[in-house]
Amino acid sequence: MNGKSFIWGVLIGGTIAGLSTLLTTPTSGAETRAKVKNAKQNIQLTLEELKKEALIVKEQVTQAIEEGKATVGNMSNEVKVSVDLWKNSIKPHQESIQQSIAVLEKELENLERKVGKKASN
């Protein structure tokens, strides 16, 4: 639900309920006018309070967004540094493993040749 439409619904519903209550009560015209004036003032105060609160919420959301952007940026940099460190730390092992695999492949080829020669003899 949209926050604006909810607030407007509350305000309009409250106004209608207040006015219908005021207009259906058995009071004199002066009393009714005084009640309507009082209700109007209360509604205006409520609107001002809602406006102030909405501005505060807007500022808080803006601040949260800015902090989130900064945090994501910092996190991104930290992840990049961590990945680079990890790559550098495994590089010697990776090269060693690749060399070992190359040696094993050569030995396997030699064995296959020897087995092939013995089988043909």
pLDDT band at 5 (very low <50, low <70, confident <90, very high): confident
Residue-wise burial string across 67-97, b where 16 or more C-beta atoms lie within 10 A, e elsewhere: eeeeeeeeeeeeeeeeeeeeeeeeeeeeeee
Model pLDDT, residue 121 = 64
The rounded distance, in Å, linking the Cα atoms of 106 and 71 is 51
pLDDT at 27 over 80: no
Residue among 42, 50, 47 nearest 22 (CA): 42
Compute the radius of gyration of the chain from its Cα atoms: 39
The string of pLDDT tens digits covering residues 71-103 is 888 888 899 999 999 888 888 888 888 888 999
pTM: 0.44
